[in-house]
Amino acid sequence: MKKFLKYAGIALLGFVLVALLVGFFYKDKIQRVNYVNHLFDADKITHNFLNIAKDFPTNEIKKAGEPFMFPNGKAIELPETFDYYGQTINTEEFLTHINNTGFFVLHNDSVVYEHYRLEHQPESHHISWSVSKSFVSALMGIAVDEGHIKSLDDAVTDYAPELKGSGYDGVRIKDVLQMSSGVAFNEDYADFNSDINRMGRAIAFGSSMDAFAASLKNGRKPGTFNHYVSIDTHVLGMVLRGATGKPMHELLEEKIWSKLGMESNAYWIKDDYDVSFVLGGLNATLRDYARFGRLYLNNGNWNGEQIVPASWVKASITPDAPHLQPGPNPNSTTNLGYGYQWWLPENPDGDFLAVGIHSQSIYVNQKKNLVIAFNSSNAHFNDPDDNSKMMFIQLFQHMAKDFPDIKTEEKEGILEQI
């Protein structure tokens, strides 16, 4: 018995030592996994969205030079109510319900509304989630224009050969850009075992996102069905890295961030292989999101310098196949239209938008010369009985109606004054 207790004690001591060693070497990963598991808890979600760049490893995107400052225009008030498919919605109650934290409205290049709630401040960095995808699209357009990528008809595996044998093998870049890759992917955030949640745990553990992308399989013929697959955007990042030989955060800093007079540095969450989580990990200030919106408002031109080709901007917001058209669509999982990582609302009227989960958005209306940047921490996003997740689109369109259509010569005059 004594011998048994002796060996049992040694075994227990060994177990404790192993546990301590595991805890020491994997402490950060364990903390990140715990963070991910509680990322969307109602009592933590707002704080998490504003601090995630502090709790995960990131790649920094540095600003350059003096910031481009928007002048103040004539202040507006938000509408008391707006229409949501025949239902009258109280604006303040809606904003409170979705934990809206930042609301910025730019009209005729002047700030007409800027308001922060809860923990959000003008200098706060808020995670963009899938708004990040639209930044990747801009970098793709620049890479095509510079000749790093020959054609959107090229296969992604021409630039990311590590994807050979996966569901992306031979798939056109264009089909991936348009969320029509044909790759099977479960994007249900409410399903613990869904692909999107497996991906979240993978990033928490620091696992290779490239390897995760290469593990996915084909589900249907590419270019025929609009199925939103977040990892498609990671694949675009792989293509850009392969084509340019540069990491994504350097491309964003060199091609966009340093040119738009951004007010603050930005941060892209990364895996343990130093690869940026480009499909949703960009953290920036609300005003800098608005500056990016202004770039697309002006067809890729920034105060006289063409940053993103105008033809690319037009193609990005023009659904060019039946399965990408807005409205009820049997070949799409959504009623929204889709371009090159940009969304089109139902019945678009010169407007388009970048969208992220839990109600993030950059809304652009060229007809009204209007940009809205919007941050929220909508804890009801995964509730199937809650319609609030995309309700901001109707609010933005309602607001846009109060602004007059702008004429081309008027817009040119506004830009000359900046």
3-state secondary structure 62-92: CCCCCCCCCCECCCCCCCCEEEECCEEEEHH
Instruction: Say how many CA atoms lie within 13 Å of 344 toward its Cβ.
Output: 23
Question: pLDDT value at position 189?
Answer: 78
| Single-letter residue type at 47 | H
According to DSSP, residue 255 is labeled I
CATH 3.40.710.10 applies to domain 47-417 = yes
Confidence of residue 412 (pLDDT cuts 50, 70, 90): low
Question: pLDDT value at position 413?
Answer: 52
SS3 of 283, please? strand
Q: Is the pLDDT of residue 67 over 90?
A: yes
End-to-end CA separation in angstroms for the chain: 87
Q: Is the pLDDT of residue 12 over 50?
A: no
In the chain, domain spans: 2-37, 47-417
Q: How many CB atoms lie within 10 A of CB 382?
A: 15
Confidence of residue 322 (pLDDT cuts 50, 70, 90): very high
Query: Residue holding tokens 């002006």?
Result: 298
Mean pLDDT, range 362-382, rounded to an integer: 97
Question: pLDDT value at position 11?
Answer: 43
Interior angle at CA 47, CA 127 and CA 195, nearest 5? 55
Rounded Cα distance, 233 and 352, in Å: 19
Mean pLDDT of the residues in the chain: 91
Question: pLDDT value at position 409?
Answer: 57
Total number of residues shown for the chain: 418
Mean pLDDT, range 29-56, rounded to an integer: 88
| Single-letter residue type at 341 | Q
Confidence of residue 6 (pLDDT cuts 50, 70, 90): very low
Confidence of residue 407 (pLDDT cuts 50, 70, 90): confident
Percent of the chain with pLDDT over 90: 81
Who contacts 220 (Cβ-Cβ below 8 Å, separation ≥6)? Answer: 182, 184, 227
313: closest CA among 346, 345, 354, 283? 354
